[in-house]
Structure 1
Amino acid sequence: MTVDTLIDELIEREGGYVHHPADKGGPTKFGITEAVARAHGYTGVMTSLPREEAAAIYRRLYWLRPRLDAVAERSERLAAELFDTGVNMGPAVALTFLQRTLTALNRNGQDYPDLVPDGRIGPATLAALDAFLASRGAKGETVLLRAIEALQGERYLRLAERRPANEAFLYGWLANRIGS
C-alpha cells in the first residue's frame, strides 16, 4: 500500500462535486472543501477542481504535514486508518485518538510514558507506538485500530446528536469510515 493508493481510493469514495445543504463545509469536490482548496491556493470554481490538485492537497495536508509517513514506517494499516479519519475529522483529531489510545494501553506507564494528547506526531508518540507494537505485535496493532475506530464512531454519534442536520451523514460515516 502506498499513499498514492490511499489517496486514489479516498477520491473514489468521496466522489465528484457535492453541495449538500446540510453540510457545513459547503461545496466539495473529491472530498476537498472549498475553504481547504482556497487555503492551498486553488482559485477556480469548485466544480473544476482538478483531481491532481485534490490529490496534492491530500498528500500535503493529510499525509505529510501530520507525519503519517513516519507512522506508515511502523504500521501501514494504522497510517491508513489515521489518514482516512484525519480527512474526515481533521488530522489533529485522528492523532489525538492515537495518543489517547496508546496512553490507555500502556499498562499504567509500565510499557512507556503517558502521552499528552496534543494531536501531533512527535518523538514521544513515535516512541510509544514503537514500544506498543514491540510488546503487543500484530494482535496489538488490531486492538489499537479497533480502539481508534471506537473513538471515531462515538464522535460521529455525538456529532449527529448535537446537530440533527448531521443525521443526514451518520449512516454513511458509519458504513464507509469505520472498519473500511
Structure 2
Amino acid sequence: MDIDRLIDEVIAREGGYSDHPADRGGPTNMGITQAVARAHGYAGAMQALPRAVAEKIYRRLYWDRPGYGFVAECSGPIAAEMFDTAVNMGPGVATGFLQRALNALNRNQQDYPDLKVDRLLGARTLAALNAFRALRGPSGDQVLLKAIEALQGERYIALAESRPANEAFLYGWLANRIG
C-alpha cells in the first residue's frame, strides 16, 4: 500500500482552493479546511497552503493516527477506502463503518465475535478483519467494500436530507467517493 499515491489521489480529487458558501468547513485548499490547517500550525492564507503541508496533514490525521497502515498489512483496498472515507467523514466514522460491516458479515458471530462499534481501530477490529479475510479470501474485500460504501452512501443522503444546503455537494460525493 502506497500512502503517497493515496494522498496524491485525494489531493487531485479534492482540487485547489475553495470557499463555497454552503460548505460549513469554510475556506479549504486541497481538501484541507482552514480550521484543520490552523490546528496543525499553518497560519498563512488558505489560497497559498503548500502541498507539503497538506500531505503532512493527510498522512498524520487520516493514516497514521487512526492506524490504517495496520489495515494495509491485511488488505490494501480496505485501507485505501478507510483513508478516503476518513478524509471526507473523519476517521471515527470510517472505522465505525468497517466495524459495522464486519459485524453484519460475521454470520451471527459464527465466524468471529461482534465488535463494539467504538470507532477506534484496535486489536479486536484487526482480528475480525483478518478472520473475515481468512474465511472469504481476497474476493471478500469486494463485498466488504460494498458494505462500507453502502453505509457511506446512506450517510451522504442523510446529510443532504438533514441540511438542504448539502444537496449542493451530494452528486459529487456520490460520484467521487463511492465505487
Query: Which band: TM-score by shorter chain?
Result: over 0.9
Equivalence for 2:26: 26
Equivalence for 1:108: 108
Verify: 1:79 aligned to 2:84, yes or no.
no
Shift of 1:139: 2.1
Q: Which runs of 5+ in 1 are unaligned?
A: none
> TM-score if structure 1 supplies the norm length?
0.98
Question: Distance between the aligned counterparts of 2:16 and 2:55, measured in 1?
Answer: 13
Verify: 1:10 aligned to 2:10, yes or no.
yes
RMSD between aligned alpha carbons? 0.6
Verify: 1:147 aligned to 2:142, yes or no.
no
Equivalence for 1:176: 176
Indicate the SS of the match to 1:11.
helix
Question: Distance between the aligned counterparts of 1:159 and 1:100, measured in 2?
Answer: 19
Q: Superposed, which structure 2 residues align to 1:47-86 within 5 Å?
A: 47-86=47-86
Question: Distance between the aligned counterparts of 2:41 and 2:133, measured in 1?
Answer: 39
Structure 1 runs (4+) deviating above 6 angstroms are none
1:56-100 C-alpha deviation (Å, 9 max, x unpaired): 000000000000000000000001011111100111000000000
Q: Which runs of 5+ in 2 are unaligned?
A: none
Question: Distance between the aligned counterparts of 1:92 and 1:41, measured in 2?
Answer: 23
Which of 124-133 and 137-146 deviates more? 137-146
Question: Distance between the aligned counterparts of 2:35 and 2:118, measured in 1?
Answer: 24
Shift of 1:140: 1.1
Indicate the SS of the match to 1:24.
coil
Question: Distance between the aligned counterparts of 1:6 and 1:139, measured in 2?
Answer: 21
1:20-76 C-alpha deviation (Å, 9 max, x unpaired): 000000000000000111111111111111000000000000000000000000000
1:75-131 C-alpha deviation (Å, 9 max, x unpaired): 000010111111001110000000001011111111111001111110000000000
State the aligned residue count.
Answer: 179
Question: Distance between the aligned counterparts of 2:56 and 2:152, measured in 1?
Answer: 25
